[in-house]
Homo-oligomer: A and B are copies of this chain.
Amino acid sequence: MANVKPSIPKGTRDFTPTEMVRRNYILNTIRSIFEKYAYLPIETPSIENLSTLMGKYGEEGDRLIFKILNSGDFLANVDLGNKTAQQLTPLICEKGLRYDLTVPFARFIVQHQNELIFPFKRYQMQPVWRADRPQKGRYREFYQCDIDVIGSNSMLNEAELIKITDEVFNAFKLDTVIKVNNRKILSGIAEIISEPDKITTICTAIDKLDKIGREGVLNELKDNGLTDSSINKLMPFFDFSGTNEQKLDFLEKMFINSEIGRKGIDELRSMLSYVDALTISTPVEIEFTLARGLNYYTGAIFEVKCKQVAMGSVAGGGRYDDLTSIFGLKNMSGVGISYGAERIYDILLECDGFPTSLTTPIKVLFINFGKKEELYALQAVQQLRNANITCELYPDNVKIGKQLNYANNKAIPFVIMAGENEIKENCFTLKNMQTGEQKKVTITQLLEYKL
């Protein structure tokens, strides 16, 4: 075997125990809230058929899906001819890596529709893969945490998702604002500025407001064929500020001639009345320019921004009436929200937001003094473990300084020394690694000690 200098692919990461403790804190916190709200877990394969994935994420998305080479003699029935890479790909690859959790979820719903009980409330926390150019905060393998309710039209679901979001970010002590909008409001806007067919263009452009600014958005709209008159009519929606109630009143006036726009107002009002009933501490703000570029949204749109850092959104979602129809199942309205675990990780790291209690689970290290002492220690080790106290016996009889270093480096708070004297007295010397304090204890005292 050749000597290989070890490395991992760009955009992927190893997680050491310290990082895992933090990562698990995030995932477990989110999971426990999802479960409290009666969402149940599902998992889908990492590998999907390309026929499931392709054409669902736009051209850019198609390119960014990792494709898996067919096994065996993948060239057997392939005429290489003068094919480009793009032409060759579908001939030598049938499978790809999961790109998000939404499309596999839609596929899952359709495939298992007869086993599932609707409304179906599921959560899913799994990695996804994108052949994106790696950069700060953008990885090629990263976790998504999604919850969705499918098979119910009630606005109660939207409100519940907002309540869960409130609880999630409160748990992380992050200062967020939940921006809400409704795709029908955007349709109403397109309608009253006389550009009903340009709704996708408008959403795509508006979605970039944070990145390219207002000027940029207006230029993009102009470039995409919106007239100056339309753009002028669009301006008030950018400019209006006020409370949610004032915004809804403003919309009422603007949407006198837009039925879909008024439908959007009704949905927003209904959602917000449930939100009120759920006592949510995070501000929930209507934002007319929230579009999230995703064309499958048909109703509510959410986006959560963290105020502590300039990092964009930490969660987002919305209602989609027609997601499963791409797999042949119609009339299945759903609403969901996705939390960015990696971004939450980066923010908590940046603002020193991980709880100080996130330390090693190992409470005690038993020092190894040799054969006879080992066996004496081992009995106590097992008794502590039986009492569910995580502890370990240093496996080798090396210098005590090296063993104490091991405890220090691993931040193990207590060390137990049991040599000849302790065995004679049937006790243990317990050392607090923080204070340096030492005392002799019996096994019973040890088991009762607040380790």
Q: What is the interface of chain A, defined by CB distance below 8 A to chain B?
A: 1-9, 12-17, 20-21, 23-24, 35-38, 40-49, 51-52, 55-56, 63-64, 66-69, 71-76, 80, 84-85, 88-89, 92-95, 97, 107-108, 110-112, 115-117, 119, 121-122, 127, 129, 131, 140-141, 149, 152-154, 156-157, 160, 274, 277-279, 326-328, 360-362, 374-375, 378-379, 382, 385, 388, 390-396, 406, 409-410
B45 touches A17 (CB 8 A): no
A154 touches B396 (CB 8 A): yes
Set of chain B residues within 8 Å of A17, measured between Cβ atoms: 40-42, 122
A36 touches B3 (CB 8 A): no
Contacts A117-B406, A378-B278 given; does A43 touch B15 at CB 8 Å: yes
Cβ contact of A56, chosen from B1, B117, B385, B394, cutoff 8 A: B1
A15 touches B42 (CB 8 A): yes
A69 touches B67 (CB 8 A): yes
Rounded to whole angstroms, the CA-CA distance of A193 and B73 in the bound complex is 43
A328 touches B6 (CB 8 A): yes
Question: From A116, which residue of chain B is reached at the shortest CB distance?
Answer: B16
Set of chain B residues within 8 Å of A117, measured between Cβ atoms: 406, 409-410
A108 touches B14 (CB 8 A): yes
B5 touches A395 (CB 8 A): no
Question: From A33, which residue of chain B is reached at the shortest CB distance?
Answer: B385
Question: From A81, which residue of chain B is reached at the shortest CB distance?
Answer: B80
B55 touches A1 (CB 8 A): yes
B74 touches A85 (CB 8 A): yes
Rounded to whole angstroms, the CA-CA distance of A43 and B5 in the bound complex is 20
Set of chain B residues within 8 Å of A108, measured between Cβ atoms: 14
Set of chain B residues within 8 Å of A75, measured between Cβ atoms: 84-85, 88
Nearest Cβ on chain B to A166's Cβ, whole angstroms: 11
Set of chain B residues within 8 Å of A4, measured between Cβ atoms: 51-52, 326-328
Cβ contact of A38, chosen from B23, B154, B391, cutoff 8 A: B391
Cβ contact of A1, chosen from B38, B63, B153, B326, cutoff 8 A: B326
Rounded to whole angstroms, the CA-CA distance of A238 and B341 in the bound complex is 55
Nearest Cβ on chain B to A17's Cβ, whole angstroms: 4
Closest 7 CB pairs of A and B: A12-B45, A17-B40, A38-B392, A154-B395, A71-B131, A15-B43, A20-B41
B395 touches A152 (CB 8 A): yes
Rounded to whole angstroms, the CA-CA distance of A406 and B94 in the bound complex is 38
30 A-B pairs (CB sep. < 8 Å):
A4-B327, A4-B328, A8-B45, A8-B49, A8-B52, A9-B47, A12-B47, A14-B43, A14-B45, A16-B42, A16-B116, A17-B41, A17-B122, A21-B41, A23-B43, A36-B385, A40-B360, A40-B362, A45-B141, A46-B127, A46-B129, A47-B129, A67-B69, A72-B85, A73-B85, A119-B395, A156-B393, A160-B395, A277-B379, A278-B378
Contacts A1-B55, A24-B41, A395-B156 given; does A140 touch B9 at CB 8 Å: no
Rounded to whole angstroms, the CA-CA distance of A277 and B383 in the bound complex is 13
Rounded to whole angstroms, the CA-CA distance of A1 and B84 in the bound complex is 24
Nearest Cβ on chain B to A439's Cβ, whole angstroms: 23
Nearest Cβ on chain B to A376's Cβ, whole angstroms: 10
A141 touches B47 (CB 8 A): yes
A390 touches B38 (CB 8 A): yes
Cβ contact of A327, chosen from B6, B41, B385, cutoff 8 A: B6
B35 touches A390 (CB 8 A): yes
Rounded to whole angstroms, the CA-CA distance of A8 and B52 in the bound complex is 8
B396 touches A119 (CB 8 A): yes
Question: From A95, which residue of chain B is reached at the shortest CB distance?
Answer: B9
Nearest Cβ on chain B to A74's Cβ, whole angstroms: 5
Rounded to whole angstroms, the CA-CA distance of A156 and B371 in the bound complex is 10
Question: From A5, which residue of chain B is reached at the shortest CB distance?
Answer: B328
Question: From A408, which residue of chain B is reached at the shortest CB distance?
Answer: B117
B92 touches A141 (CB 8 A): no
Rounded to whole angstroms, the CA-CA distance of A362 and B141 in the bound complex is 32
With A5-B327, A16-B42, A46-B97 given, name 5 new contacts (CB 8 A): A15-B43, A68-B69, A73-B85, A74-B85, A119-B406
Set of chain B residues within 8 Å of A5, measured between Cβ atoms: 327-328
Set of chain B residues within 8 Å of A71, measured between Cβ atoms: 63-64, 66, 131
